[in-house]
Amino acid sequence: MTYRAPIRDLAFTLQAVAGIDQVAATGAFPDYDADLMGAVLEAAGQFSEGVLAPLNRIGDQKGSTCKDGNVTAAPGFADAYRQFAAGGWTGLTAQAHSGGQQLPKALELAAYETVHAANMAFGLCPMLSLASIEALEAQGTEAQKATYLSRLVSGEWTGAMVLTEPQAGSDLGALTATAVPQADGTYRLSGQKIFITWGDHDATDNIVHLVLARLPDAPAGPKGISLFLASKYLVNPDGSLGARNSFHPVSVEHKLGIHGSPTCVMAYEDAVAELVGTPNEGLAHMFIMMNAARLAVGVEGVGIAERAYQHALEYARERKQGRSVWTGAANSPIVDHPDVRRTLSVMKARIAAARAICLSTGVAADLARHAATEDERRQWKGREDLFTPIAKAWSTDVGCEVASQGVQVHGGMGFIEETGAAQYYRDARITPIYEGTNGIQAMDLVGRKLSQDGGQSARDLIADFKTTLAQLPKLYTGKPVERFANAVEAVEDATLWLLDAKSDKDRAADVLAAADAYLKLLGDVTGGWMLAKGALWARAELDAGRGDPVWLEGKIALYEVYAANVLGHVSSRLAAVGQGGALLERMSVDVLAG
């Protein structure tokens, strides 16, 4: 089936739920208005539907290849990338002085949802360029910006994030790659890196690697890591490309999914490199890229979920089997069976919630930089920090769950590769692992983000939940209100419990044992809050006689589906938060193996 970009849903989420009009009101984006938002989303949708989606299956079946130290992208990908760059899609949020369009981050995220939905393997390439742009804008020298930044913004060159080594995955303090200073101010970079997404390809003339490595006199552990820039081809003073630098792909990994994305093993052999930022502060500099990538990966989860949902819905409308309990018709489409209808409804509701969380994180990021006062910027920065691990982890879990449900809707046919449903499931599975596993996101949430401002950002969020809860009786009675009330109480209890536990160093195991359940609980409730806000907005539009009544009524019903099927289970999340570290300690290796 073909992919249809959900333009109306994206625009609704940006305006009615995420609040992008607050971003426009700052005046920081003089070219942005609602008309431009609509134009950008329409153009992104058309490109994703027409150019990227048709290549998705080809990329899965053919993949990329590595031969003689060079990677060739999957058939059609290089040409698609050149069209993508020519359309200006790598410069949406970059600063105007670097050739960018200086538009809101939230709008970029919405546009890129269509890219990831249409062809996630392709979308990973520009996604890493965007992260590289943010890092160089923040930490690059003027010379580095002049040489590299504008070409990354234009899409003429692409960027790659180079962290992982065979012995150093999430524990980056264990990496051993080295960078030796030279008399001319450059460095010689040596070491092997693995899992380098789009580390080499033939879609552009040059690739800019941002690499973590150690200086010869660096202290051990994470405090001894620096960030370096190594270009595939050396750049001459006039900006032209010179000789090939001394690093190359050894191989491309054979993966469960995203076959169209070349995941490279890279070898650096005295490669010429430049220091980015301050020596031994590379980890902090890299986290500029990492945080941008984490939010982008959350959007990948939303995109792949949307694609899997559309595929499942189309199949359910076409596949005929059994009698409808509503119409009584024999040989009816399986969408008329209650369990299939329920499954599709929950899929749609969870996608809408994840989309809202990601785009709201983008709005918070925009306002953290551009709100009118320092106090407002600090508050929005707290919201951005709190939301980022949720956006990454909760949304990618949704991507996997929805893709799995998409296979289930297809029944036995879903397990057959020819139907296409299995590819979305395989592609989605990397997203909870990318850019710090979801367990690491949960540890970050409870270990740092929850208490970095004394818990104020979490308390402010809970206060916003309660404001919306007070409005819900205007729209619903009974269970839809009660379930949200119970959910808000559960997340408040869990938050206060964790803040108390964190004040006692002897309860560190209790805090970490609660991390995953707390992130999922907070994600569940935040998603419900956002769908409730959307439902209230839809009701106001209906009362004013505006919009499509069927579509708007669907927004009201979607919250009720979510409240029954997601918020109705918050008690189990709360129980898991309080399980304690002692219980897990009892589950020793001997017990697990017994």
Instruction: Inform me whether the pLDDT recorded for 114 exceeds 90.
Output: yes
Residue 187's SS3 state is strand
Higher-confidence position of 253 and 170: 253
The predicted structure's pLDDT at residue 471: 98
DSSP state of 265: E
Supply the pTM of this predicted model.
0.97
Instruction: Inform me whether the pLDDT recorded for 271 exceeds 70.
Output: yes
Instruction: Inform me whether the pLDDT recorded for 70 exceeds 90.
Output: yes
Higher-confidence position of 558 and 172: 558
**Separation CA 152–CA 208 (nearest Å):** 8
Provide the terminal-to-terminal Cα distance of the chain, rounded to the nearest Å. 48
Band (pLDDT 50/70/90 cuts) for residue 2 is confident
Q: Give the rounded percent of residues in the chain with a pLDDT score beyond 70.
A: 100
Residue 240's SS3 state is coil
Structure tokens of 351? Answer: 């996608």
The predicted structure's pLDDT at residue 173: 84
Instruction: Inform me whether the pLDDT recorded for 197 exceeds 70.
Output: yes
Strands 65-67 and 70-72: antiparallel
DSSP state of 330: S
Interval 356-372 mean pLDDT: 98
The predicted structure's pLDDT at residue 455: 96
Residue whose C-alpha is closest to residue 427's, from 301, 257, 304: 257
Interval 110-122 mean pLDDT: 98
Instruction: Inform me whether the pLDDT recorded for 465 exceeds 80.
Output: yes
pLDDT digits (tens, 9 = 90+) for 564-583: 999 999 999 999 999 999 99
Burial of 485 (0-12, 13-18, 19+ CB in 10 A): middle
Interval 417-435 mean pLDDT: 97
Instruction: Inform me whether the pLDDT recorded for 204 exceeds 70.
Output: yes
The predicted structure's pLDDT at residue 1: 67
The predicted structure's pLDDT at residue 170: 83
pLDDT digits (tens, 9 = 90+) for 489-498: 999 999 999 9
Instruction: Inform me whether the pLDDT recorded for 302 exceeds 70.
Output: yes
- Single out the catalytic residue among 435, 482, 541, 553: 435
Residue whose C-alpha is closest to residue 162's, from 228, 225, 198, 209: 209
Q: Contacts for 74-80 with beta carbons within 8 Å, 24 or more apart?
A: 74/121, 74/259, 74/260, 77/122, 77/201, 77/203, 77/260, 78/201, 78/202, 78/203, 80/51, 80/52, 80/55, 80/122
The predicted structure's pLDDT at residue 396: 98
The predicted structure's pLDDT at residue 13: 98
Is 42 known to be catalytic? no
Interval 336-365 mean pLDDT: 98
Band (pLDDT 50/70/90 cuts) for residue 172 is confident
Instruction: Inform me whether the pLDDT recorded for 245 exceeds 90.
Output: yes
The predicted structure's pLDDT at residue 159: 98
Band (pLDDT 50/70/90 cuts) for residue 545 is very high
